């Protein structure tokens, strides 16, 4: 059971989680920085750009993952050539997580003490230097905690993706546990997911404490 079902499912879940998180951070980072710059109290306020990005992020965050995955079927097929398996799940997982990452980074950057920013300006720092050398450095502990929550959410979403052909632990639980009435597989799947979450949260807390020090 472990070698034929659970171990491959765990590997698939890890792959989906890793690449979805990586792509979500890359994609989510860009609008977060733009929104910090163009916010009403930002370095270069621009109401139009800020409102557009803010609206797009709110719309994407308001869609439940299952619905988003179905809506993105044509887009996913265009990008990776399939809508099932690991590849088919990574695209909607990324798009679902990216807006959350943007909000996490934006919120963390907003919490940076305005006095620190003003001090950097008084020393002649450019906007780029203020963002990347001052704000991001100060906000890193909060960003790490937010990213940790994002990864945990992606693990949960990947399990949901398995219900409609996404692979991973969700697929194993549905196909072998639920459909075949195998309570043992269901039990082990739940245990593995709980362990995943606990390990991720503990790792995130550890890195956070290191950054705070």
Q: What is the pLDDT of residues 30-76, one digit of tens each?
A: 999 999 999 988 888 999 999 999 999 999 888 888 888 888 889 98
| C-alpha dihedral sign at 51, 91, 171, 2 | negative
Q: Is the pLDDT of residue 23 over 70?
A: yes
Q: Give the per-residue pLDDT at 4.
A: 72
Contacts within 8 Å (CB) and 24+ apart, 186-195: 188/1, 188/6, 189/6, 189/9, 192/6, 192/10, 193/155, 193/156, 193/159, 193/169
The mean pLDDT value for 144-164 works out to: 86
For 113-139, the pLDDT digits (tens) are 888 888 888 888 888 889 888 899 889
Q: Give the per-residue pLDDT at 115.
A: 86
Q: Give the per-residue pLDDT at 57.
A: 93
Angle formed at CA 108 by CA 103 and CA 110, multiple of 5 degrees:
95
Average pLDDT score, the chain: 87
Share of residues in the chain with pLDDT > 70 (%): 98
**Is the pLDDT higher at 85 or at 147?**
147
**pTM for the predicted model, two decimal places:** 0.87
Q: Is the pLDDT of residue 3 over 70?
A: no
Q: Which CATH architecture has domain 2-212?
A: Orthogonal Bundle (1.10)
Contacts of 62 (CB under 8 A, 6+ apart): none
Name the pLDDT band for 1 (thresholds 50, 70, 90).
low
The mean pLDDT value for 165-174 works out to: 79
Report yes or no: 104 and 147 within 8 Å, Cβ to Cβ. Answer: yes
């Amino acid at each position: 059971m472990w070698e034929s079902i659970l171990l491959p499912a765990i590997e698939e879940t890890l792959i989906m989680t890793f690449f979805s998180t990586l792509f979500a951070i890359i994609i989510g980072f860009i609008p977060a920085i733009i929104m910090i710059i163009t916010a009403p109290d930002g370095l270069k306020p621009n109401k139009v750009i800020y409102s557009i990005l803010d609206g797009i992020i709110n719309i994407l965050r308001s869609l439940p993952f299952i619905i988003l995955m179905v809506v993105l079927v044509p887009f996913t097929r265009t990008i990776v050539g399939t809508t099932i398996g690991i590849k088919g799940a990574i695209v909607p997982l990324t798009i679902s997580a990216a807006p959350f990452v943007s909000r996490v980074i934006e919120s963390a950057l907003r919490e940076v003490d305005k006095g620190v920013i003003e001090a950097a300006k008084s020393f002649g720092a450019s906007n780029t230097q203020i963002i990347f050398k001052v704000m991001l450095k100060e906000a890193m502990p909060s960003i790490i905690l937010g990213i940790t929550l994002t990864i945990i959410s992606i693990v949960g979403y990947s399990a949901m993706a398995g219900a409609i052909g996404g692979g991973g632990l969700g697929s194993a639980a549905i196909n072998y546990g639920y459909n075949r009435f195998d309570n043992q597989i269901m039990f082990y799947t739940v245990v593995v997911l709980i362990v995943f979450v606990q390990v991720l949260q503990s790792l995130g807390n550890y890195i956070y404490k290191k950054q705070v020090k």
